[in-house]
Structure 1
Amino acid sequence: MKPNSLLTLENTVTSPIEHGDAGVILKPDGTFKVFSTGIDGPLTPAQEAQGRKLIALSIALRYPEVMMVLERMANDPAIVGDGIDTGPSH
């Protein structure tokens, strides 16, 4: 069953970064860094897909106009559902 929230506990980092992971680090000053671990030869199809996603995210982070569109989408319940699922309440 697809979760009703865009962000869930399952897709937030709760363990150390592992071999083969890739991502974006957002710096406090507004800049960003991309990273990829485990590149030790020709890129695999999965690594190429990660690279394309990192480029797309970099475009959004570099161009305020693109980010504004994404931020509007992130506030649309029809797209993101309930927003952030923090798990069951105690």
Structure 2
Amino acid sequence: MSTPKPVSVTILGEEYLISCLPEEESALQDSARLLDQRMREIRASGKVMNGERIAVMAGLNLSNELLRQQQQATSKSGKIDEHLRSLRHKIETALNP
């Protein structure tokens, strides 16, 4: 098993050292870049200037996107299951007239 190591990420110009497993470093860097991008967009809108509020808004927006994607995936999975049951029934009917 790998040993966590400190990884530097920069968000809104602030550097943070995050303990991370080497195999997860790329995902951590990608996550930090996405969060930084979203926080910069919120700050650029001019509606929110406080860093803490910007972080909360970015976190809420990302959480909302994740939940919507999970709901869509669940819905699609249900439709696929339904379609597979229908196909199985048709195959069984064709093989056992």
- Larger RCO (CA within 8 A; separation ≥ 6): 1
More helix by share: 2
The structure with more radius of gyration: 2
TM over 0.5: no
